[in-house]
Amino acid sequence: MENKLYMKKNVKIPVIFLLLLIFGSFLIFVGSRNDAVSVAKSIKSGVLTADEINIAFQNVGGKVTQRFVQESQMVKKGDRLMQLEDIDTKLAIDRLQALVDSQKAAVNQEQAAIEITENETNLSELTTWRKIEEVQANLEAAKSARNLATTEFDRQTQLRKTGGNSQSQLDNARNAFINAKMQVVQIESQLSTLMIGATPEQISQFEQTQNATGMTLKSILIARQKLQNRQNQLAQLKAQLAQGEAELKQLQLNYERLTLTAPEDGKILKLMFEDGEMVPNGAPAVLLETNRKYIDIYVNEKMVNDYQPDTTITANVIALNKEVKGKVRFATAAPSFADLRMTRERGQADLTSYQVRIYIESIPKLLTGMTLEVDQ
């Protein structure tokens, strides 16, 4: 009797476990599966995340003199965040401003001097042309006087031979003749000097017209070459001025960069430096959470065509029980660890997962970290 009871007990326990196993398997089969495939088919959700940016002082560094914000403070675009010491930069700007002012004065002085010299050269050219015409007229008069003196000398010579005049009269005629010849030579030399640089064609035309306007003059050419050389000096002064002004603009820009401002609206997450600390060039100083919020969801390759870039979707904010609009930014193949490994019991093959990023519109009380479910 005891043996029968013992045998029944030994059989009853395995049977109970077998029934529980069959019942559990049935529930799993008919119930909801929590594998990746089932979840992806039923719920597409993600945690709301915001873009974060590191804000740094651009090409400047120094000691922090003041922080204008605190962690978790909301800021608007252009709000001041942090200030660096500006004494050295101010002094450098003042020194360079004085140098630029001096360079401007030098440029203005050289421009005025060139303008004056150019006017003087033009006037000298006109004066020389008129002087040539005057000397030419004097030459004609001197030649006439020479011819007259020659005739008189010849007449006095003939008279002396016949005793019709005295020796002193002949000597006077001879002196007058010599003086007239020398006067012509002197004026011809003066005219030749004034016309140095003129071409044979210009000289021939002048002899016909007695008008020297337009004649090329060597002295004027040299004067204009000197003017051109001064123009080169002026260009050099202007280049130095432009360099100084560029350096001044760079210093002024660096001075503005000593004040760190918010590039866009957002919330301050972290301040990297305290008052009095030294900030290296290019080091991040503030971590800002922007108002650009998004969620990432993962879908299989059969669903990815429903999430093309710029597609508008609707998502439900579980914590607020509200719907928000969003726009798909991109859909790209997810890393291999996110691939959906489906069970074979339904005859399905493995599918590749795709990461879909959706940027969400801002609504009141919508905070990062909240869970959103995509309806479509």
Architecture of domain 89-253: Orthogonal Bundle (1.10)
DSSP-derived 3-state class of residue 68? coil
Query: Which helix or strand (DSSP H or E) is residue 149 part of?
Result: helix 87-162
| Whole-number Å distance between alpha carbons of 236 and 233 | 5
CA dihedral 192, 197, 200, 201 (to 10 degrees): -120
Residue 299 is encoded by which pair of tokens? 């879908």
Cβ-proximal residues to 219 (8 Å cutoff; 6+ apart), any chain:
124, 128, 196, 197
How does strand 322-333 pair with strand 353-360?
A: antiparallel
Reference 133, options 191, 90, 81, 61; nearest CA is 191
How much is the pLDDT for 37? 42
Cβ atoms of 49 and 368 closer than 8 Å? yes
The predicted-structure confidence for 67-118, as pLDDT tens digits, reads as follows 999 999 999 999 999 999 999 999 999 999 999 999 999 999 999 999 999 9
Instruction: Write out the E strands in the chain.
Output: 44-47, 49-56, 62-67, 74-75, 80-84, 259-261, 266-271, 278-279, 284-300, 312-317, 322-333, 353-360, 371-374
Where are the CATH 1.10.287 domain residues in the chain? 89-253
Q: Which long-range contacts (CB under 8 A, 24 or more apart) does 300-309 make?
A: 300/37, 300/40, 300/340, 300/351, 300/352, 300/353, 300/354, 301/351, 301/352, 301/354, 302/351, 303/40, 303/354, 304/331, 304/354, 304/356, 306/376, 307/331, 307/354, 307/356, 307/358
How much is the pLDDT for 342? 47
Tell me the Ramachandran region of residue 107: left when phi exceeds 0, alpha when psi lies from -120 to 50, beta otherwise. Answer: alpha
Instruction: Write out the E strands in 57-131.
Output: 62-67, 74-75, 80-84
The predicted-structure confidence for 299-343, as pLDDT tens digits, reads as follows 888 888 888 899 999 999 999 989 999 999 998 887 765 444 444
| Whole-number Å distance between alpha carbons of 68 and 82 | 6
pTM of the model: 0.65
Query: Which helix or strand (DSSP H or E) is residue 168 part of?
Result: helix 167-194
| CA 133 to chain centroid | 59
How much is the pLDDT for 15? 66
| CA 77 to chain centroid | 23
Q: Please, what sign has the CA dihedral across residues 156, 159, 161, 166?
A: negative
Tell me the Ramachandran region of residue 23: left when phi exceeds 0, alpha when psi lies from -120 to 50, beta otherwise. Answer: alpha
Residue ranges of the chain whose pLDDT lies below 50: 1-2, 5-6, 35-41, 338-349
How much is the pLDDT for 40? 45
